Structure 1
Amino acid sequence: MRSTVFALLALTLLAGGRCAAAGDAPAPNYDRDVRPILSDRCYQCHGPDAETRAAELRLDTAEGLLDWVVVPGDIESSELVRRVASDDSDERMPPAESGLSLTAAEIDTLRRWVEAGAEVTGHWAFEPLPESVPVPAVDDASWPTGPLDRFVLARLQQHELRPTPPAAPLRLLRRVSLDLTGLPPTVDEIRQFEAQLANDGIDAVLAAAVDRLLASPAYGEHMAVAWLDAVRYADSYGFQSDQLNSQWPYRDWVVRALNDNLPYDEFLTWQLAGDLLPDATRNQILATAMNRLHRMTNEGGSLSAEWLVENAADRVDTFGTAILGLTLGCARCHDHKYDPISARDYYSMMAFFNSIDENGLYDRADKVPAPSLLLPTDEQAAQLAAAEQARDDAADHLQETIATGEERFAQWLASQPRIDALPGLTGRFTFDDDPAHPTNSAVDDAPPGEGPGITACEGVTGQAVALDGDSGLEFPELFEVDRSDPWSLDFHLRDTVGEAQPVVVAHRTFGTDVGYNGTDVMLAGGRLSVRIYRVWPGNGIGVQTAEVIPADQWRHVCITYDGSSRARGIRVYVDGREVETTVLRDHVFKSVAVRAHGNGRFALGARFRDRGFRGGQIDELRVFDRALAPLEAAELHAPGTLTERRADHSDASAREQLRQFYFAAIDPPAQAARQELTQRRAAVIAIQEQLQETAVMRELPAPRPTHVLARGAYDAPRTDENRVERTAFEKIMPPLPAGAPRNRLGLAQWLTTDDHPLTARVLVNRVWANFFGAGLVTTPENFGSQGARPTHPELLDWLARDFVAHGWDIKRLCRQIALSATYRQDSRASNELRQRDPTNALLARGPSFRLSAEQLRDQALAVAGLLNRTAGGSPVSPYQPGEDLWRESNVMSPPYKQSVGEALYRRSLYSVWKRTAPLPNMLALDAPTREVCTVSRSRTNTPLQALVLLNDVQFVEAARALAERVLPARGDDGEMAAALAKAFLTVTGRPATPREQQLLQALYAEQRAVFADAAPDAVAGFLAAGDSTLAAQATPELAALTVACQAILNLDAAIMRR
């Protein structure tokens, strides 16, 4: 029977023949030797994913393996061994059609594992970080500089290898300078290093150099690059139009945090949950911008509901790869095929990132998608504080004016004045004339409404307008307000259809699918909602009525707003009485005026790409430029109410209503004070408009429900059964700490527990890669079962435990690695060693790899004396080939505007990073687009890279500037030889060998002859590359020296880090 069941298996182990056990070889280790075989060949059909699991057999768990497939110690009774070694193609696993195969050695590994007892252990990366890791004993105690080296040396001794001797001191200086700051040492630093070396020895001098480099601002700028890759930082949103964003303050925060040596546990906590910390500072909230760096779209027709899911999924995937080193994205559509992470686990993690007060889309580059943070400079903060104080003083003055106006009110009341009309009316439309072009009877010569296709129907009095849900009725020049301006809207409303959420009144930026800049009134489930927003929902105020507007009945609606920018300033009256409202949002800053950002008209019954008021009818529209008092709302509903109250105000209630009316509409001092308050509020908005703003995280008042979405589709059914709670892979990881909140702060606390299996291991591995070109785990994106095992697992655990024990100190970790004997080895090795260890997995020699795109450009600028070391600020736009690659690649893109002056020579960290059109020279040198999380850059070797380094204007200009720096006063052979030697030292950090010097002098002589025969204009044209000023004369000597400098900048000694 079980043979029949096993015949259903697919993609397990392909038999590779039988072979005997390997004598006295140690028993295979399950996690190291057996699990990788099963993972590669079996898990697709017999792994964690229940949807694709065949024959109800799991080979990724001890229970599944030991149930009946494997009998510990008994090869003959173990179906696994029998089937993988079968000669019968019908029984052999995996079947031939799988395309998978298994070597004889791998089959023997499985056999020996079963024979030895078939012990099943957990995956190494999911095991808690041990409390301590024994440091191995070694034969040569003189070589290690610390425990790190003992782990390396012990491994080398197992393979009968010896470490390579240390690299030459100047080679070490260049190596550590590039690894810690991304910049080569200057000639002065080289000379100082050599002088100190003669007195103090290499250990002390190298330690001093490392400490100096760690203290340099350039350290944070360099180390930030890898983190920005991981968190997909870019200066544009990506996708169709790829507009520029405003997230650069986050980049600067990362640099500052690294330079300040913010402990890694705090570094993570601030980024994941800085907004949830008690009394969170602006800096802590800014750090949460990490989770707003994902791509966003503003493409027409995009759905907010879809992109809320996409954004949350991107956060989960980035969190998984950048921080946990796991490929979580596989579990979005189905259970992970290789790691024990189910789709339910995935969405349980998404629940932490799915309650952000956002709408999922963005509008234009000048509008930051909420939630967001204002970042004033010190000067702006002082101006804003003064303006806010003036606003508050004006509000106090208004209250004082009203409080001291009782005598004025009494006099007015006693005078029995005649009130013919409510003051402040700026628009009145009865719709009794032409419903498609209604006249504003409140203002002479005001433009009429515009509603082609709008028809009339019977109204409350005379005609009303009938709305069809497609066409709206627009009113030019009406209701042009900001949030500092008070206003009132009054109309009669009838809903004959009962659509889900129709737009009744709207005044919003035209041409956008999301709520940006405006005011609207909607019916949500029959309840009126009123919203005033810069960006809805995260930057706006709004209320909703508690009672439902009855369907198919006329109701009189009056809405007032007092200009306070608070939800309590919005009042709703139905049939003359104020109704109870609940607050939707109560947080708004910057301007909400439509005129401030685009265009759009006040309209009834329609809004761009939104649900119109189908079957809606509106009559008697009035617009006021002030907030009406309750008595006025009653008067509009029942004319004569005001006269009645004035005639009989004997009871306290009537008198108070009249008092409110008087100070709202009549009292001159109160009107003047209110006007002053409006101006002061507008002044605050004007200052806020100038402030830098960055998208950050902010929780919804109540968590948004999260569900398992079938196949990851945003519109998949959501039920109580597939709703999930916030958990963190509790089947393979420790649970959240006791007492930790079930939010992002609790998640951060979970990550930074002392024994968390992944957090410290992943970070230590990434830092190691900065110094050695590859991590101890060579798949930094995948610490799961399909990833590589650590080359030195005990070393990784020791480093991680030491890192946590010493306060998550990144600079200390960098110092520890940079001063190790392992790091100091020469990268040159014998052919025998390279054959035995071609990838340097055993660390028997020093690291060697090509410089990154940023390092190559920054090095060229630095040695040329062009590098502008200004830190921080908005991105700059260096040279770009062609007319405008941004527009050429995307006509919807903003134009590329090249920077001028010193801004052209900023560090590459500060160059604009546009996702759909990265800088070509950076892209050619393997910089990522940062559309998604990248934790390891590829290193290619292409002809295009050489063309960039030789012909890109930035590198040609740098070579010329370097030539100018070393150009001698006279051009005789001796001085020119010295100039070439200095250029070589400046770029490579070491003196040229006699052979190198000879070749450079020959190249110079050859090019000197070429340029001497060239036309002066050709020489001048060659030397005119770039925008920097040519200080020297455009001579053949300078041109030839420039070519020689180009050659130096392209040498292996320049582009490689050895």
Structure 2
Amino acid sequence: MAATMLGWSHARGSDIDFNRDVRPILSDKCYFCHGPDEENQKAGLRLDVRDDAIDAIESGEILDRITSDDEDFLMPPPSSNLSLTDEDKQTIARWIEEGAQYDGHWAFKPLPAKVDVPELDQDEWCRQPIDRFVLQTMREAGMTPAPEAAPLIWLRRVTLDLTGLPPTPSQVERFGKAVSKDTEDAYQTAVAELLASPAFGEHMAVAWLDAARYADSYGYQSDKLNTQWPYRDWVVDAFNKNLPYDDFLTWQLAGDLLDNPTREQRLATAFNRIHRLNNEGGAVFEEWRIENVADRVQTFGTAILGLTLECCRCHDHKYDPIPMKDFYSLSAYFNSIDESGVYDRTEKVPAPSLLLPTEEQQAAFEQAQQELRAAEKRYAEESERAKDRYVTWKEANPSATASLPDLRLALSFDRNYDKTLKSVYHPSQSDRSWTSMPDLVSVDDITIPRLNPELAADRLEEPGGDNALPRLALSLDGERGITTSGIEPLDRWTPFSLVITLRETKRVAERSLIAHHTRGTDCGYNGWDLTLVDGYLESRMYRVWPGNAIGVRTKERIPVDQWLQISATYDGSSKAAGLQLFLNGEPLETTVLRDKIKKSANVKVDHGGEFVVGQRFRARGLAGGLIDDVRLYTRALTENELRYLATGAPLPVSEATYISAIDEPARTAWDALNEARHAYVMAEEVMNEVPIMHEMEEPRPAHLLARGQYDAPKNEQTRVERAVLSSLPVGFPEDARNDRLGLARWVTDPAHPLTGRVAVNRFWGNFFTDPLVHTPENFGLQGDLPTHPELLDWLARDFINSGWDVKRLCRNIVLSSTYRQSSAVTTQKIAADPTNRLLSRGPAHRLAAEQIRDIALASSELINLTRGGPPVSPYQPGGDLWRESNGMSPPYQQSVGKALYRRSLYSVWKRTSPLPNMLTFDATTREVCSVKRSRTNTPLQALVLLNDVQFVEAARALAEQVLPTSDETARIDDAFLRLTGRHPDQRELEILVNQLTSEREYFANNRDAAVDFIKIGESQPDTDLDPVELAATTAVCQTILNLDATIWKR
């Protein structure tokens, strides 16, 4: 085993190194039962800490155990299905003999302030410090570098690695001329041009979007499409602008907490919100909120620290020295945003969110804002003038009493009013059950507050009805309720008053009294509601509760088991102060629950909104309660008017009543104000919206959760300032705030042992077949050792010292002699270094899914290089895979025109149904953070390249590009060069010429097949070309597209 550690290898007979030789054995075979997880430790023995293990070591028990023939005494026990090899036993024996010295895990050791570059003899091969580290390791293993790759091979390699695209014919020609004049200058100029290309950011973004688990849908069972693409565009721009990597991380972790954050910095925090979300109707909000927080911690650990933090969500880490409490200390930093944990099936975006208007939308919004301010000013001025008119009116009408205009709805349950009542709804039934009479009970209690007799005409009584019938009230069971139709939505700009007579027979945790909402399920609940929560009244208007809402709660509980008249008013201001609550006509003191709302509180869906009395999803209506009269007015009634409704006492016309109900100029100005408010909201409504991080004013308590379960909180777990991940040697900076911004400063501290190493390792893996640490997701004890530990440390320190300059790091790598080696192999090198861990040759591996598709599009000149914007929907196999795999999904709507040929980065990424051709080439679903893709080679991949519409069409378009050349050999050479970056050798050319002859003969005898073949795809074939020749050349281009020379980087 040790001999395969390469950079860590040691000659037989040299001292045992704990990290290199012993820890991997103990971690694999012993730590599960004798490691850092205290609850799982057997026999009280811990082998990962010397002080805890020394007695067992010095007594000889460890050696006795691992060498025993007694299965009841042997360690590891046979029941564990683990065993030590003879070499393992000899290594442990030698380690003990040499003193059983322990050492800290390499990745947790401080990053050296300075890493010395090796001094080597005969170092002419070295162009960069990188090369010295690599050459030293090769020499120690008795290896030598491979020859330098041919210039065109390097050009294709570097162009694919920096832009994800193949070099264009003009790039190839220009580079060839430059190399003939000055090779080094040509290489440096080519790299500078590639780094400056917008395609650089697009390509570099792909790997980060895997890590950030970016997708265009929410995942889980519904997997509804989202609007999170601006975050993807931000990542692209960040790489193109060469945003320093420490800022790149800081903005994503805590951009909202920076001083006066820009829109761009706030958008970056979507990194922590683009995880999966559930919208199941019965989802428990807190359960899924906790899942969201756990996902953020896991992603933080994997993407930034290279640690498997998810392993200590339910218990102490089995292998790494990370206790469970550290997981929940970290979770406390991601726990304090005003989110519900779910989303719904409307177009709402989970709160908190950021509006991202276009320039035109911003201009329209600012115009609407100005008009709103003007309307507010006009109404204020008209109200002042109305006060003078009131004095005159009052003198002329000294004994006048008020009526109550603006009544929109009145429900009295003393009669059968089936023309007004829409339905009685019971959730156990698949359809709403229509009824002529809800459950009514006789009410003999004469203390029921009654509406003023003067308003009897407004009561919904049948003409000629017998008014002597008993007084009735609606009896509620929590599940069934009354819904009405034809009521305009209660929204941010619509003032209203709701008056209800009710009797709560017992205290309940949370029960809905009245609501106007878009959907009845919890995840879709939005609009306005009046709710009882443990005896407290709440009036809430929200698009998404709690983060995009206004709401108030009474300071005192209302009396139980008494008939009460409850009134709720709203003035249309979009402010919590505009929500007021009254008990029997008297105002109630309230506290503000939320006071920030964006966009409309009602989202249109196919079945419209409803006004509901006494019912809410999952039996959360007023169970056991009684409701009598319900009235809805289209303005905010004054205190005098509400007192009149409650007591029936005479209602003199107050100044406030006169202004709101009688004075026509004031009412006209009021109507104009409401229209301006409506226009303001609609100007917001069209803006794109993205979920982001926004810290709550007071951090939400976080708890250590038993087994990670949301409903099993144990002790409260706070943010552990200056002790995050206690196993690491660096704490919070002394002046750092104890919030996400402080956490960001901690991970970007130049002394942090992980961040720099993890970053450069992942960037290195973008250019070579493997990163220096072959487990980029795990720098812990179960991860691989680095093949070149000193090089890794030098790269990390140099990266940090450069100001975290990503483009500089990339430039140094691709201009190094290490990178410029030929990937051609010899028998000797295959035997000595089969996987190229020594870096004794250039990189060679199959390209990523996006690169393969983009090569086809670019080589054929079909590619559309438009940058940014919403995702596009390229070809899919026959049928609608979205609908066929998930009946709740929207139908797949294929893009048209040039949108079909956008770069793969911009293709729609649906988590439960990614594009099949992407999955076939090992793209991730992006359901969770992923920092390393698999690389498989299967027959399915060849079938995709031969049959997928995108690739067939690209082959035909490529054929159209080369056909103008009269010489068929030159055509094949041109197509081969476009796809592979080199000219074919004689054997390759001979095979392809023979294929062209064969294909031409076939299609000449099957002309209809040729015509059908070249019609594949949305783009139209060139009608000036002979269909037989075009079809034959297309088939040859397909063959070239299928070659390893095309889909592999060499």
TM-score using structure 2 length: 0.93
Match among 99, 110, 116 for residue 128 of structure 1: 110
Q: In structure 2, what is the equivalent of residue 475 of structure 1?
A: 484
Are 2:244 and 1:263 aligned?
yes
CA-CA distance at 1:734 after TM superposition = 2.2
Aligned amino acid, residue 431 of structure 1? F
Structure 1 residues 788-803: aligned runs within 5 Å: 788-803=784-799
Match of 2:509 among 490, 500, 503: 500
Match of 1:392 among 334, 349, 373: 373
Shift, 1:428, TM fit:
2.5
| 2:893 corresponding residue in structure 1 | 897
Q: Distance in 1 between matches of 2:151 and 2:1016?
A: 36
2:675 is aligned with 1:679? yes
Structure 1 spans left out of the alignment, 5+ residues: 1-12, 14-21, 72-76, 441-447, 647-657
Displacement, 1:254? 0.6
Answer whether contact 2:479 2:619 (CA < 8 A) is retained.
no
- Deviation for aligned residue 1:451: 6.3
Which residue of 2 is the match for residue 50 of structure 1? 38
**What is the deviation of 1:855?**
0.4
Aligned pairs for 1:622-661 (under 5 A) are 622-640=631-649, 642-643=651-652, 658-661=654-657
In 2, the alpha carbon distance for the partners of 1:229 and 1:664 equals 57
1:1028 to 1019, 1034, 1042: 1019
Q: Which residue of 2 aligns with 1:607?
A: 616
Matches within 5 A, 1:379-778: 379-415=360-396, 416=398, 418-434=400-416, 452-458=438-444, 459-461=448-450, 462-478=471-487, 480-514=489-523, 516-593=525-602, 598-640=607-649, 642-643=651-652, 658-716=654-712, 718-720=713-715, 728-778=724-774
Q: Is 1:994 aligned to 2:986, yes or no?
A: yes
2:931 aligns to what? 935
Task: Indicate the residue corresponding to 1:162 in structure 2.
Answer: 144
CA deviations 1:260-293 (Å, max 9, x no partner) are: 1111111111111111222111111111111111
Q: Which SS does the other structure have where 2:206 is aligned?
A: helix
Paired residue for 1:278?
259
Match of 2:288 among 307, 330, 333: 307
- Post-superposition offset of 1:343: 1.6
Report the AA paired with residue 988 of structure 1: T
Q: Which amino acid aligns with 1:534?
A: R
- Answer yes or no: is the 8 Å Cα contact 1:431–1:439 preserved in 2: no
**Residues 38 and 59 of structure 1 are in contact (CA less than 8 Å); yes or no, is this contact kept in structure 2?**
yes
Post-superposition CA distance 1:5-60 (Å, at most 9, x none): xxxxxxxx9xxxxxxxx997221111221111110011110011122110111111
- Distance in 1 separating the partners of 2:843 and 2:586: 79
Distance 1:137 1:334 in 2: 47
Asked if structure 2 preserves the Cα contact closer than 8 Å seen for 1:504 and 1:520, the reply is: yes
Q: Give deviations 1:806-859, integer Å, cap 9, x for gaps.
A: 111111111111111111111112111111111111111111001111000000
Deviation track 1:595-623 (CA, whole Å, cap 9, x = no partner) reads 56752321221123351101222233221
Secondary structure, aligned partner of 1:584 = strand
Measured against aligned partners, the alpha-carbon deviations of 1:446-469 in whole angstroms (never above 9, x if no partner) come to xx9976334453443443322221
Check whether the contact 1:170–1:989 (CA below 8 A) recurs between aligned residues: yes
Kindly provide the amino acid, as one letter, of the partner of residue 1042 in structure 1: T
Question: Which segment is superposed worse, 887-896 or 783-792?
Answer: 887-896
Decide whether aligned partners of structure 1 residues 577 and 511 sit closer, same or farther in structure 2, where only a CA change above 3 A counts: closer
Give the residue type in structure 1 aligned to 2:449.
Answer: V
Query: Separation in 2 of the partners of 1:642 and 1:797?
Result: 83
Out of 27, 48, 51, the residue aligned to residue 15 of structure 2 is 27
The answer on whether the counterparts of 1:515 and 1:536 sit within 8 Å (CA) in structure 2 is no
- Residue-by-residue CA offset, 1:620-657 (whole Å, 9 max, x unaligned): 322110011222222222333533xx6xxxxxxxxxxx
Residues 1:850 and 2:846 are matched in the alignment: yes
Query: Structure 1 residue 493: deviation in Å?
Result: 2.7
Contact 1:221 1:255 in 2 (8 A): yes
* 1:485-542 superposed Cα distances (whole Å, 9 cap, x missing partner): 1001112232111111111111112243225431111111211011101111111111
SS at match of 2:509: coil
Q: Give the letter aligned to residue 1032 of structure 2.
A: A
Q: Does 1:347 align with 2:325?
A: no
- In structure 2, what residue type is equivalent to 1:1040? A
Task: Work out whether residues 317 and 329 of structure 1, in 8 Å CA contact, stay in contact via their aligned partners in 2.
Answer: yes
Q: Which amino acid aligns with 1:392?
A: R
State whether residues 508 and 601 of structure 1, in contact with CA within 8 Å, keep that contact through their aligned partners in structure 2. yes
Structure 1 residues 105-131: Cα deviation after superposition (integer angstroms, max 9, x where no partner): 222221222222222111111112211
| Aligned-partner SS, 2:549 | strand
- The answer (yes or no) to whether the contact 1:451–1:471 under 8 Å persists in 2 is no
Choose the corresponding residue for 1:1041, options 1029, 1033, 1037. Answer: 1033
Other-structure match for 1:655 = none
Question: CA contact under 8 A between 1:431 and 1:619: conserved in structure 2?
Answer: yes
| Cα distance in 1, alignment partners of residues 819 and 718 from structure 2 | 50
Amino acid across the alignment from 1:1019: A
Unaligned runs of 5+ residues in structure 2 are 2-9, 423-433, 451-470
2:674 partner letter: T
Kindly state the Cα deviation for residue 314 of structure 1 after the two structures are TM-superposed. Answer: 1.1
Where do residues 51-70 of structure 1 align in structure 2 (5 Å cutoff)?
A: 51-66=39-54, 68-70=55-57
Q: Which moved more, 1:501-510 or 1:400-409?
A: 400-409
1:948 alignment partner in structure 2: 944
1:594, CA displacement in angstroms? 5.7
Q: CA deviation at 1:70?
A: 2.1
1:745 and 1:723 map into 2 onto residues whose CA distance is: 16
**What CA distance in whole angstroms lies between the structure 2 residues aligned with 1:795 and 1:452?**
78
Residue 949 (structure 2) pairs with residue 968 (structure 1): no
TM superposition shift of 1:438: 7.3
1:436 Cα deviation from its structure 2 partner: 7.9
Q: What is residue 350 of structure 2 aligned with on the other side? A: 369
With a CA cutoff of 8 Å and minimum separation of 6, indicate the structure with the bigger relative contact order: 2
Match of 1:102 among 84, 88, 103: 84
Contact 1:511 1:608 in 2 (8 A): yes
Decide whether aligned partners of structure 1 residues 158 and 775 sit closer, same or farther in structure 2, where only a CA change above 3 A counts: same
RMSD of the TM alignment (CA)? Answer: 2.0
Deviations 1:545-600 (A, max 9, x none): 11111211222222110101111111112222222111111111111136567523
Three-state SS of the structure 1 residue aligned to 2:819 is helix
CA deviations 1:750-778 (Å, max 9, x no partner) are 11111111111111111000000211000
* One-letter code aligned to 1:460: P
Work out which of the residue numbers 985, 1009, 1018 in structure 2 matches 1:1018.
1009
Residue identity matched to 2:128: G
Local SS of the residue matching 2:594: strand
Bigger mean CA offset, 883-892 vs 718-727: 718-727
- Residue 738 and residue 92 in structure 1: after superposition, are their counterparts in 2 closer, same or farther (change >3 A)? same
Identity %: 54
Opposite residue 89 of structure 1, the aligned amino acid is E
Larger CA deviation: 1031-1040 vs 818-827: 1031-1040
Superposition deviation, residue 297 in structure 1: 1.6
Is 2:288 the counterpart of 1:288? no
SS at match of 2:810: helix
Partner of 2:94: 112
**What is the alpha-carbon distance in structure 1 between the residues aligned to residue 282 and residue 822 of structure 2?**
59
In structure 1, C-alpha distance between the alignment counterparts of 2:262 and 2:11, rounded to whole Å: 65
Q: Aligned equivalents of 1:955 and 1:315: distance in 2?
A: 37
Does structure 2 conserve the Cα–Cα contact (< 8 Å) formed by 1:517 and 1:591?
A: no
The answer to whether the Cα contact below 8 Å between 1:449 and 1:474 also exists between their aligned partners in 2 is no
Deviation for aligned residue 1:140: 2.2
**Counterpart of 1:228?**
209
